[in-house]
Copies of this chain bind each other. A is one copy, B any other.
Amino acid sequence: MYLYQDGKWVERDKYDGLLRGEAIFETVRTWNGNIFALTMHYERLMESAHEVGISLPFNVDELRDILKEGMGKVPKSRNEEIRFRIILTLDVNPGVYIWAEPFSIPDYIHEEGVKVGISRYRRMPVESCPPKVKFLSRPDIILARKHKGDNYDVIMLNIHGCVAEGTFSNVFLVKSGALITPDVDSGILPGITRKIVMDFARELEIPVSERKVEVRELFQCDEIFLTHTSAGIVPVRRLETRTLIEDSVGGITKILMDVMRKEIFSKDEYWE
């Protein structure tokens, strides 16, 4: 078997998963220099692995050791955190690739909110792939991102035209003091930050409704925010032509952001 790479032909003995485009992944981050919710992420990676028939080549402690070793290598400034992307190829002996990079979320994102669009590409349906399997490569997501322009993220609808999720985030609406977010049957990855936000909301006695969400509701609700591992809660300032935030972030979104920032460190379940 020969592979043409970097302009020349070389002999190779296997055609590994990365070159076949067959891989799953999981994103993990630090908060104040500590790895966040690793057990939850590990369990989700295990679910993905199980669905595609591979075994994880490390247990959660071994993975933590690898990530900690990486944290020691990656140079970062005082305000930065580390983001890891753990990639496993679908081989009998899965290849392991882990990216580590410093990152920081600019303040304006949480203070002023971001611009978000609605993609014309529909999220791949559950009938094609169970949403909980985090494949490294998703044609629908690649195309949605290619056309997202200057938006922070774009919301993908499912094949029935209901709201599903962003290309790397979950979507929340605030309407009359209550939280609304697409349910799992809408064909979403039930994100870890999504779960954390719903838990905090329930503690604050904010009603939470997981259900089918129509596109028109994005234009009729009071607030919208996204959630994802790297940035937590991200307020939406502008959705397509609709301006949701005139000045600075307020409302339920602000309450949840403040509570999460304060309380997250006292929840033991995220830090063992």
A residues sitting closer than 8 Å to B (CB atoms) are: 1-5, 7, 9, 11, 15, 18-23, 51-53, 66, 69-70, 73-74, 87, 90, 96-101, 118, 120-125, 127-129, 133, 135-140, 142-143, 146, 157-162, 214-216, 218-220, 240-242
Contacts of A135 in B (CB 8 A): 21, 137, 139, 142
- In the assembled complex, the CB of A72 is this many whole angstroms from the nearest CB of chain B, namely 9
| Complex interface: chain B residues within 8 A of A99 (CB) | 1-4, 15, 19
A contact face: mostly helix, strand, loop, or mixed: mixed
Which residue on B lies nearest to A2, using beta carbons? B100
Contact of B122 with A52 in the complex, beta carbons under 8 Å: no
Q: Are B143 and A139 in touch, CB under 8 angstroms?
A: no
In contact, A159 and B100 (Cβ under 8 angstroms): no
A184 to B74, CA, bound (A): 49
| Chain B residues with CB under 8 A of A66 | 4
Q: How many identical subunits does the complex contain? A: 4
Question: In the assembled complex, which residues on chain B have CB atoms less than 8 Å from the CB atom of A118?
Answer: 214, 216
Q: Which of A15, A96, A143, A218 has the most CB of B within 10 A?
A: A143
- Residue contacts A-B, CB under 8 angstroms, 30 given: A1-B99, A2-B73, A2-B99, A4-B70, A4-B96, A4-B97, A4-B98, A9-B73, A9-B100, A15-B99, A21-B21, A23-B137, A52-B142, A53-B146, A118-B214, A118-B216, A120-B214, A122-B160, A124-B139, A124-B140, A125-B128, A125-B159, A127-B160, A128-B140, A128-B159, A133-B143, A136-B137, A157-B161, A214-B215, A216-B218
